[in-house]
């Protein structure tokens, strides 16, 4: 007679072990480029084209990236680009949240003919290739004086983040029982007060998840900063590529170091709001 498994236990079978090994192999394969980039960022210029895993690591590349040392790299102001990226992406996320949260609430609460089509149309702006709109945006930005300005970059990046915020938060508001707001209205609350004091606190995990995803999408954007900025509003995605051609030589180790530094802000933000992020991604997944 087979022994009954206790809660939390699992039966080990060849098929299950094989599946776990395949999943582990896929996981290691996915992480290998990141592992290789970190290794490359610790190599010297003479070792940057080698494939050896054993070498003498150095932090000189990070110091060079942040302090602009080296005659061929003085034009790469990476610290300014990093600060500019934080301002641009943070501003785009704030604008998207200020406009997107009320829009998502309205889309989740009021249904009318064609409402789903309208939401899909808004999300389709996110699907559209950026190269389709970059030329007219370049012309418009030059005419109205928004080229190479932080205001212009914040405004164009919210085109990337706004549809994402509205689409994600709409599902959270739809999962909220309307009875909670109806009870607040019966207690004398206005519709605005019911939204701010009842509905909004309940979707804070969803707001955190949407804000993090929006920040990552804005942070990783490359086409808009490349075409619509020069030096004053240039971001890390553009600054990283400048290390590939300084002085006619490709500095792969410096490029890797700049990429590692550029990956830290989204990582730190994700770790900071990890508790809300886990709640937000699982919100509404199980319904009674």
Q: How many CA atoms lie within 13 A of 128 on its CB side?
A: 14
CB-count exposure of residue 270 (10 Å: 0-12, 13-18, 19+): middle
pTM of the model: 0.83
The reported pLDDT for the residue numbered 5 is 55
Task: Give pLDDT tens digits for 20-73.
Answer: 899 999 989 999 999 999 999 999 888 888 877 888 888 999 988 888 654 455
Of the candidates 121, 159, 120, the residue with the CA atom closest to the CA atom of residue 140 = 159
Residue 69 pLDDT: 52
Average pLDDT over residues 279-285: 53
Mean pLDDT of 77-83: 90
The DSSP secondary-structure symbol of 73 reads G
Tell me what the mean pLDDT of segment 209-235 comes to: 91
pLDDT digits (tens, 9 = 90+) for 97-154: 999 999 898 888 887 776 777 777 777 777 778 888 899 999 999 999 999 999 999 9
In the predicted model, is pLDDT for residue 260 greater than 90?
yes
Whether 213 contacts 277, CB under 8 Å = no
Give the model's pLDDT for residue 230. 85
Distance (Å, whole) CA 42 – CA 56: 8
Q: Which residues of 120-133 are buried (b: 16+ CB within 10 A; e: fewer)?
A: eebeeeeeeebeeb
Q: What is the pLDDT of residues 181-192, one digit of tens each?
A: 888 888 888 888
């Amino acid at each position: 007679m087979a022994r009954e498994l206790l809660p939390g236990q699992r039966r080990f079978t060849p098929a299950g072990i094989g599946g776990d090994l395949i999943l582990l192999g896929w996981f290691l394969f996915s992480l290998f480029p990141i592992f290789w980039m970190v290794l490359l960022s610790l190599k010297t210029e003479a070792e940057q084209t080698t494939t050896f895993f054993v070498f003498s690591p150095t932090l000189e590349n990070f110091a060079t990236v942040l302090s602009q040392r080296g005659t061929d790299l003085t034009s790469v102001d990476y610290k300014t680009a990093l600060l500019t990226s934080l301002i641009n992406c943070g501003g785009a996320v704030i604008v998207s949240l200020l406009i997107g949260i009320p829009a998502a609430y309205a889309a989740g609460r009021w249904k009318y003919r064609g409402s789903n089509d309208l939401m899909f149309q808004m999300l389709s702006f996110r699907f559209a290739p950026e190269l389709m709109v970059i030329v007219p945006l370049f012309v418009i930005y030059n005419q109205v004086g928004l080229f190479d300005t932080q205001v212009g970059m914040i405004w164009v990046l919210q085109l990337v983040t706004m549809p994402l915020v509205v689409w994600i938060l709409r599902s959270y508001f739809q999962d909220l029982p309307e009875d909670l707001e109806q009870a607040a209205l019966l207690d004398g609350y206005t519709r605005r007060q019911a939204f701010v004091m009842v509905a909004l606190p309940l979707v804070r995990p969803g707001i955190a998840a949407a804000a993090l995803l929006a920040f990552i999408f804005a942070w990783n954007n490359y086409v808009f900063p490349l075409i619509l900025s020069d030096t004053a509003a240039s971001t890390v995605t553009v600054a990283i590529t400048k290390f590939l051609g300084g002085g006619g030589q490709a500095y792969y180790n410096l490029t890797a170091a700049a990429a590692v530094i550029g990956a830290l802000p989204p990582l730190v933000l994700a770790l900071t709001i990890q508790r809300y992020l886990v709640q937000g991604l699982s919100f509404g997944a199980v319904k009674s």
